[in-house]
């Protein structure tokens, strides 16, 4: 007989409440693996009939000791972990991390790298928003819209795979540059994908924007005010959906954003519909920015000529001893980052993605902390769920776009 099955499994969480406010309230546990949870997350909800009285949100099911692991790897070797934070837009994680380390090392990246990172960040933002909108629409039953959007997203992923070799986990950022330059014909294909994007997103607007079912499910559901959103730490599309145009690309321009023309779309009242629409508009702005960047992209090297972080050219590694030693030291010991601490943030698709890094010198970080938007949003998401219907958890959670990889680290 199998004895393993008989022992009860310990409960990994302790809910904040055992019973609801009323005698006939029902407490239900939703998740961590449930179609409604839009990620591996557990929602304990006290229900009054169909109405959600109170919720207790538990994340952590994807925790993998990311920050502990980083302290044990060289600055470059931990790049694959960085990719896996927000796996829908891995490139933005890479670039945000690289920028933080470059600040510590006082490195200024080359113009081509700067424009290319900006272009790829916006491209990733489109992929991330497409994922979010497609999934939330599918959860409401809009299968056609899902397939249209995911088709474009797949073009984007395949196209990024041509550049980086992987669809999701790119490991493409390098401290002081990028892993490799664009392959031939990449920009031409980019133009084609953007044209297809416009055609298909136009169809989504036609299908969804004035759709009675969609409006009934999302308008005035999951409402949050600006003051409350700030109090609970919301950033990104959720904060903008409340009508306040806070966007780091505009407020603290990094990379090449200062030279680009773009708008910061905002919502009206911070409900699910506004969050949908803000994301749709942001993708249009991203396309507009990418088209500008395609014309601006200068020629030149993509990595800085700095032997502290950039690997020497392979032909030199094989022919001269200095480059061989340089290569060896960079791989085995890691780049030598001077002591100091830095907090550097970029506007990720979900909000402010910050890296707080402490270096004591040497090849690996002393401490690396990620301020991930999803984790902070999970601390405030109960404000969006309480007081609405049980069924509203689905569109609301979809519109928050919680990504387990960056939330749980």
Partner 1 sequence: MPAEIVDRLRAELASEGREVTLAQDMPVVTVPPTAVRETARQLAVDHAFDLLLDVTAIDWPGRTPRFDVVYHFYSTKHLIRVRLKTRVPEAEPVVDSLRSLYGSAAFMERECHEMYGIVFRGNMDLRPILLYEGFVGHPLRKDYPKQQEQPLVPYRK
- Cα separation, 183 vs 122, whole angstroms: 19
| Smallest separation, CB 16 to partner 1 (Å) | 7
Q: Which is nearer to partner 1, 7 or 299 (CB)?
A: 7
Q: Which is nearer to partner 1, 330 or 357 (CB)?
A: 357
DSSP annotation string for 88-131: TSHHHHHHHHHHHHHHHHT----HHHHHHHHHHHHHHHHHHHHH
End-to-end Cα separation, the chain, in angstroms: 38
Stretch of residues binding partner 1 (CB under 8 A), selected from 2-10, 76-84, 142-150, 302-310: 2-10
DSSP annotation string for 138-194: HHTT-HHHHHHHHHHHHHHHHHHHHHHS-SS----EETTEESSPPPTTHHHHHHHHH
Report if residue 378 touches partner 1, rule: CB under 8 A: yes
- Quick one: which H or E segment has residue 353? strand 351-359
Residues 56-115 that bind partner 1 (CB under 8 A): 58-60, 63, 65, 67-69, 72, 103-104
Radius of gyration of the chain measured on its C-alpha atoms: 23
Q: Which is nearer to partner 1, 55 or 376 (CB)?
A: 376
| Smallest separation, CB 100 to partner 1 (Å) | 10
Residues 212-231 that bind partner 1 (CB under 8 A): 228, 230-231
Q: Which of 202, 206, 300, 379 binds partner 1 (CB under 8 A)?
A: 379
Angle between the N-to-C axes of helices 272-296 and 186-208, in degrees from 0 to 180, rounded to the nearest 10: 160
Q: Which of 10, 35, 185, 261 binds partner 1 (CB under 8 A)?
A: 10
Say how far residue 77 (Cα) sits from the centre of its chain. 21
- How many chain residues are in contact with partner 1, going by CB under 8 A? 50
Report if residue 389 touches partner 1, rule: CB under 8 A: no
Q: Which is nearer to partner 1, 392 or 408 (CB)?
A: 408
| Smallest separation, CB 110 to partner 1 (Å) | 22
Q: In the sheet where 51-58 sits, what is the strand order? A: 26-30, 42-48, 51-58
- Cα separation, 317 vs 13, whole angstroms: 53
Residues 328-357 that bind partner 1 (CB under 8 A): 340-343, 345, 352, 354, 356
- Cα separation, 166 vs 184, whole angstroms: 17
Residues binding partner 1 (CB under 8 A): 4, 9-14, 16, 58-60, 63, 65, 67-69, 72, 103-104, 228, 230-233, 235, 244, 246, 251-252, 340-343, 345, 352, 354, 356, 358, 366-367, 369, 371, 375-376, 378-380, 383, 408-409
């Amino acid at each position: 007989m199998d004895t393993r099955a008989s022992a009860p499994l310990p409960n990994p969480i302790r809910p904040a409440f055992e019973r609801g406010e009323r005698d006939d309230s029902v407490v239900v546990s939703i998740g961590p693996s449930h179609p409604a949870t839009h990620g591996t997350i557990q929602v304990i909800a006290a229900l009054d009939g169909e109405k959600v009285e109170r919720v207790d949100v538990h994340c952590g099911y994807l925790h993998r000791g990311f920050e502990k692991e980083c302290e044990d790897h060289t600055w470059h070797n931990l790049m694959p972990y960085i990719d896996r934070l927000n796996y829908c837009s891995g490139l933005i994680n890479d670039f945000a991390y690289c920028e933080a380390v470059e600040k510590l090392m006082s490195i200024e990246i080359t113009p081509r790298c700067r424009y290319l990172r900006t272009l790829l960040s916006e491209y990733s933002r489109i992929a991330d928003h497409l994922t979010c909108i497609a999934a939330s629409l599918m959860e409401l039953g809009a299968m056609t819209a899902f397939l249209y959007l995911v088709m474009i997203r797949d073009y984007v992923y395949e196209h990024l795979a041509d550049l980086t070799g992987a669809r999701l986990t790119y490991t493409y950022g390098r401290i002081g540059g990028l892993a490799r330059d664009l392959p031939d014909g990449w920009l031409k294909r980019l133009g084609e994908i953007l044209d297809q994007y416009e055609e298909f997103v136009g169809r989504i607007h036609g299908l969804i924007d004035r759709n009675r079912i969609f409006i009934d499910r999302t308008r005035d559901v999951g409402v949050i005010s600006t003051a409350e959103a700030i109090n609970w730490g919301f950033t990104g599309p959720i904060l903008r959906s409340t009508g306040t145009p806070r966007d780091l690309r505009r407020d603290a321009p990094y990379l090449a954003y200062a030279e680009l023309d773009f708008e910061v779309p905002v919502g009206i009242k911070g409900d699910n519909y506004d969050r949908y629409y803000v994301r749709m508009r942001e993708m249009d702005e991203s396309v507009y920015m990418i088209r500008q960047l395609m014309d601006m992209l200068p020629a030149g090297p993509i990595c800085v000529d700095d032997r502290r972080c950039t690997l020497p050219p392979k032909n030199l590694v094989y022919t001269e001893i200095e480059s061989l030693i340089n290569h060896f030291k960079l791989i085995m010991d890691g780049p030598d980052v001077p002591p100091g601490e830095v907090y550097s943030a970029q506007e990720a698709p979900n909000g402010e993605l910050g890296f707080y890094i402490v270096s004591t010198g040497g090849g690996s970080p002393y401490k690396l902390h990620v301020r991930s938007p999803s984790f902070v949003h999970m601390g405030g998401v109960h404000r969006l769920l309480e007081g609405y219907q049980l069924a509203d958890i689905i569109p609301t959670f979809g519109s928050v776009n919680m990504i387990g990889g960056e939330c749980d680290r």
